[in-house]
Structure 1
């Protein structure tokens, strides 16, 4: 237990002493004892000292100087001031008494016949005994937590042991205050009512911490204090060790156990991180081999999966998440590559929270998710809706934190065996690319929704694709006038609306007559017969090819076709 000002009165020579003022500070801890008979003594104390004085150097001080002197002592966190009266001063000055009350710095009066040594010796003995107790307690706590760490017991056993040592419930949270483990589930959820930085010197600790007054909804709404100790792990990631002050007041001695527990938790998390890094590398290599069909034998693949507890007999859908800088933001200043950047890491966590059973692989600016689904043969559309709904939730959560980024999603179809994973991966890539082209920078697209694009994207050679563009459309693409893009957009929208000029004008925000004029101009340039369903179909296919390969490959092909 810590030696405090109020414990002084257990010393025989101080039983006749009495507190003049500052009784609110009787719980101040004492960490040393010093005689002050010089006016500049405040510059030489370090905090926690019990000060003894006859006020000889202060005899000439006026009230304001007396208050300033007391303020200096308080600022240096002195524990108390014991004043011997009868030799140089008969009455304790009013300025010292007034400042003592304001600063909660106890002033204790002793008679002149009490020698300082009869105070210093017992106080030093008590402090020495207290240090011995602390050392014994430190060794006990240190040995206990080191044993738990070496035995690989994990965070639950560490906080359970801490709870026994300090007599208060303990909860461990991640950096976002999501609970990891707790000794009392009723105290996991809380609402902060008041926040204050705690006095580290009073608790005799170098660890940063703060105190909060909180309400516990699951504990009948009771209000208590709790201490939050941030514990830094690898990559500056913090977890939070929270001591709920529900059973007893947290004391300085408790922080010996808390510091040791925090160190063990940090070591345990470093170990977990190292193991996870190895497992992730092993898993990532296996995923890459599966997605790129680099399988030497099914037996070796299943053996590798078994080592990390991955069931390859389930049905998986490959889903790709890709980050892009939003319009108006400098893409060069936004590092989107690798799991160790904050955007990828937060997206990884959001996905993991939404799909805890999913297998996630980070690659460049993408996250690849092997999404485990139930048997999709019964209702494929329901399975797809479920994935889209979850992707929308992930996207919405991500945008709350990062408005300067776009999150795009591509969804493949189900792979019923590991040999079908490359096909699902290719489909997710096509859905991601085409969905962005067709539906914008925040598209969530499934391969099954791509329609004819599913067929067209099987042809990877842009030159081969361009051969399927009909001659009539090629003439429009070769048209060198400034309004070419307007004519192409009008034709595309006109065919999408089944040649309805009114709906086309409405979507393009132009006059109806503008649309009819443009259509007639297109007919003149291309010779297209919009009454011929076969030709209309070929033009529609050509426009979709144009979406896939853009202008440059088409222009190259037109130049060589002499159109």
Structure 2
């Protein structure tokens, strides 16, 4: 070891050989680079530049073989620059052949990847079983946090925090990890090794890995793991957790949509006035609605605004308006008339607020 001891935790995924001066164009990243230094024998500056290029390309380390034969020795300026950049610089003796480096290193890389895949597959199967048991998204996020041994967040499609779980009691609570996740995810970049679905980034000085959850046409949210170093087993494990989480969220949405349809049908029948109080109460309870004390009915209609959106060719704006109106109505009922009922019907939102003492 000549220099760069502070970079010994760099990840190696490949082994490559450099014997031409313009090899930078072929750098892939995370390589252990091997060279005899023949192309750099006349220029210390060129060798320093090679170290800098390797760092910029996210290489793992540089091993110089047979330095006595072509370089005489590794120049001090090269070692100094490697130390500055925390880039491992190795010197190997004349009796070491390239194949004696490449074979064991790649064998270790392949064995490590096999272990990663095995762990990821086990996690995937475990989460699939949780889906079959209808464990729910929150329970699955807790398990993912335990498997990864890092805090995990579940975000809504609008980047709002839905659930936070950490395997460590000392980690911050959900409210303390609030950040602008929209900006953080927009600035995140795909992991080239694990595929474009895995996003890696940094926020508030902490690395994270994230995955969108959903299908080609439906975005259901995001799962994020905090404090994950790039290119390690935890990223691969996280990628394998996305499908079971997506299935669970799809099932949850299907159940919610079914309840909403039943509630709409109930209100249609209720407003027709042909149900007895007993039948109305029984059906309401079956659909998760408690009508006791709800003596007021408020209907917020968006027909006029909807027609304006249609004239402007903005059909998607109608759904956004309805969703926003329901969120506003739900928040109003929760704060001013706790225990009330809010249901969407066509282009309107029906509120049955419960006012105590009225």
Q: TM > 0.5 between the two?
A: yes
Q: 1:282 aligns with which of 245, 251, 262?
A: 262
Instruction: Determine the structure 1 residue equivalent to 2:174.
Output: 188
Cα drift, residue 373 of structure 1: 3.1
Instruction: Determine the structure 1 residue equivalent to 2:349.
Output: 367
> Structure 1 residues 181, 198: closer, same or farther in 2, change over 3 A?
closer
Instruction: Determine the structure 2 residue equivalent to 1:233.
Output: 214
Return the structure number with greater relative CO, CA threshold 8 A, min gap 6.
2
2:175 alignment partner, SS class = coil
Distance 2:44 2:293 in 1: 86
Cα drift, residue 308 of structure 1: 1.4
Q: 2:201 aligns with which of 191, 210, 215?
A: 210
The C-alpha deviation readout for 1:485-515, integer Å capped at 9, x for no partner, is: xxxxxxxxxxxxxxxxxxxxxxxxxxxxxxx
> Structure 1 residues 307, 132: closer, same or farther in 2, change over 3 A?
same
Cα drift, residue 364 of structure 1: 5.2
The C-alpha deviation readout for 1:41-60, integer Å capped at 9, x for no partner, is: 33334221111110112234
Distance 1:129 1:207 in 2: 23
Instruction: Determine the structure 1 residue equivalent to 2:127.
Output: 145
Cα drift, residue 290 of structure 1: 1.6
Matches within 5 A, 1:341-420: 341-356=319-334, 357-363=339-345, 365-376=347-358
Please give the root-mean-square deviation of Cα atoms over the aligned residues, in Å.
3.6
Higher Cα Rg, which structure: 1
The C-alpha deviation readout for 1:62-83, integer Å capped at 9, x for no partner, is: 62x4444444433332111100
Contact 2:2 2:79 in 1 (8 A): no
Matches within 5 A, 1:235-384: 236-237=218-219, 239-245=221-227, 252-293=232-273, 295=274, 301-322=280-301, 332-333=311-312, 335=314, 341-356=319-334, 357-363=339-345, 365-376=347-358
Contact 1:203 1:252 in 2 (8 A): no
- Matched positions, count: 340
> Structure 1 residues 190, 360: closer, same or farther in 2, change over 3 A?
same
2:69 alignment partner, SS class = coil
Distance 1:316 1:226 in 2: 52
Q: 1:168 aligns with which of 129, 147, 150?
A: 150
Instruction: Determine the structure 1 residue equivalent to 2:104.
Output: 122
Distance 1:86 1:226 in 2: 41
Distance 2:258 2:322 in 1: 19
- 5+ residue gaps, structure 2, are none
Q: 1:77 aligns with which of 42, 55, 58?
A: 58
Cα drift, residue 276 of structure 1: 1.1
Matches within 5 A, 1:475-490: none
Distance 2:263 2:115 in 1: 50
Cα drift, residue 190 of structure 1: 1.6
> Structure 1 residues 367, 169: closer, same or farther in 2, change over 3 A?
same
**TM-score of the aligned structures, taking structure 1 as reference length:** 0.52
1:361 alignment partner, SS class = strand
Cα drift, residue 261 of structure 1: 3.0
> Structure 1 residues 140, 123: closer, same or farther in 2, change over 3 A?
same
Cα drift, residue 284 of structure 1: 1.0
Distance 2:172 2:51 in 1: 45
> Structure 1 residues 228, 374: closer, same or farther in 2, change over 3 A?
farther
> Structure 1 residues 298, 262: closer, same or farther in 2, change over 3 A?
same
Cα drift, residue 280 of structure 1: 0.9
Contact 2:201 2:209 in 1 (8 A): yes
